[in-house]
Chains A and B, each alone.
With several copies, the nearest count.
Chain A
Amino acid sequence: MNQQPICELAELAAAVPDGAVLVVAQDNCGVSMAATRELVRRGVRGLHLVCVPISGLQAEILIGAGAVATLETSAITLGEFGPAHRFIDALRKGRIRMLDATCPAIHAALQAGQKGLPFIPLRGLIESDLLASRPDWKVIDNPFSPGDPIAVLPAINPDIALFHAPLADRAGNVYIGRRRELLTMAHASKQTFVTVEAISEQNLFDDAKLAPGVVPAIYVSRIAVAKQGAWPVGLPEHYGADDAAISRYVHSAKTEEGFRRYLDEWLNVEEVTA
């Protein structure tokens, strides 16, 4: 509920406190790698990172940089580019608390957060080791049908939702189109920070065709312009992933030292180019 949501990228990143519960989206929804870089640069620590419902390079880099204390996700994958070395290494060394989930559980718990419900039931899960490894999940008897066990998940209410979008306006409305999980993230979170490709001088609600794909300003605390802000990840319908850059990352991150070298270089990039 910020009247002047548009700010500098560094200011946006500075407003993410250490220890925050930060929720991010998967690669095809708009990933703010620009803000991620600023977070690493400012040395953020102790994040509880929630991925909706999975993550790739963004989580991998935050983990490698030592920013993450707890990771809640259904997967960390760089797809065909290879293993997420820093994620795997952190798990092996016990550096992060791992909350393995399944995609619909993260969606449902976030929807519970959106609705202000303390918990939400969900099918599936029963007798899996996922459920066994999650002391925060329970199984109850369906109150309407005794003898029907069902998992219940506590709501997820992140401190901050962070994503990258193509367009915002000066009032703070953000265009997300079909990427509706971004809306759910914004609703469930106390604050929403967004990087965008561009700022529209026209209010997005003034175009009846755009309005259905908008996150309303009331949910949006900060917006920073970051051209190619998803790079090296892509922004669907706008630009693709930079395969060469991601490949080079995966190759570098095989070792801690290689990762550090990559990071130094990445933090020093002046202008992002795809």
Chain B
Amino acid sequence: MNLDYSRAELLVAVIARLLEGCRHVTVGASSPIPGAAALLRRDLTQGAMRVTILGSNRYNAYTNGGVETFDMAAQGRIDAFFLGGGQIDGQGNINLVGTGRYPASDVRWPGSFGSAYLYYLVPKVILFREEHTRRVLVPKVDFISSPGVSAPGVYRPGGPYGLLTGLAWFSFDKQKQRFRLESVHPGHSVEEIRDQTGFEFDCPDEVPFTSAPEPAILTLIRGRIRNEIAETYPRFASTFAN
């Protein structure tokens, strides 16, 4: 299948759609695709949606140090955030610490960052991981950096909204505590998703393809957005549309 857009461009367009209705979106320091998507959404709202990119000078109007992101989340002033994970399981648990027996992990990743807090407090947490394999999408994470769901009574206004990978988009059902396959990216199939996913998920009989970016959106991504993210993610910007 020969598409006239790159995977990165598709993902940016998908995320920008998912951010509809948000007033303020915060993006982590090393998240170029979510960063580009947030800036795209901002452009589409004529700047009404605010974007904070952690680690950026230009897209960071904080004056209370690193704690401000977390305080803002607790104040309800961050509507959406992105989390990844070395492992993600079918209940939405994420592992950013490592595999095997903690703390002498077989594979050790950097650590949990703000996940064990933001995942609880930000209403729309989009799990984003391009690699869609059984290595990443596991039946049960080896270490819970942050759980996908919480017991009744635990203060948790936030949580997973869904999971976007290089192959598909799943929504998350908090009642059922399960992912549901919503769309498969053009060029891929439900079988491929099943093969590459280590956890069980709900799957409707008919799964649509993920909508391709509209031409106007592609133009924006390739023009203004690419320039805007160059400050924050210079290496990414240069390889963006490949």
Chains A and B in contact, CB within 8 Å: yes
Interface residues of B in 98-127 (CB under 8 A from A): 102-105, 108, 110-121
A127 at the A/B interface (Cβ < 8 Å)?
yes
Residues of chain A contacted by B115 (CB below 8 angstroms): 102
Contact B108 A130 (CB under 8 A): no
Residues of chain A contacted by B143 (CB below 8 angstroms): 129
B211 at the A/B interface (Cβ < 8 Å)?
no
Contact A187 B71 (CB under 8 A): yes
Contact B74 A91 (CB under 8 A): no
By beta carbon, the residue of chain A nearest B66 is A181
Contact A181 B62 (CB under 8 A): no
A128 at the A/B interface (Cβ < 8 Å)?
yes
Contact B67 A74 (CB under 8 A): no
By beta carbon, the residue of chain A nearest B65 is A180
Question: For the complex, what is the distance from the CA of A162 to the CA of B23, rounded to whole Å?
Answer: 23
Interface residues of B in 55-69 (CB under 8 A from A): 55, 57, 61-69
Name the contact of B67 in the complex, choosing from A28, A104, A129, A214 (C-beta under 8 A): A104
Number of A positions contacting B (CB below 8 A) = 73
New contact pairs (18) apart from A124-B120, A126-B154, CB-CB < 8 Å = A53-B66, A74-B113, A75-B110, A79-B29, A91-B103, A103-B69, A107-B67, A108-B67, A126-B150, A127-B154, A128-B145, A133-B103, A149-B154, A187-B71, A211-B63, A214-B63, A216-B62, A218-B50
Question: 26 interchain pairs (CB within 8 A)?
Answer: A74-B111, A74-B113, A75-B111, A75-B112, A76-B111, A91-B108, A92-B104, A92-B108, A98-B103, A100-B111, A102-B116, A102-B146, A103-B117, A111-B67, A115-B70, A116-B75, A123-B155, A124-B146, A126-B154, A128-B144, A129-B144, A178-B65, A180-B66, A187-B64, A218-B24, A218-B77
Give B contacts to A, CB under 8 Å: 23-24, 29-30, 47-48, 50, 55, 57, 61-77, 96-97, 102-105, 108, 110-121, 143-147, 150-151, 153-155, 235
Give A contacts to B, CB under 8 Å: 1, 3, 26, 28-29, 52-54, 73-77, 79-80, 84, 87-88, 91-94, 98, 100-105, 107-108, 111, 114-117, 122-131, 133, 147-150, 173, 178-184, 187-188, 205, 211-219, 236-237
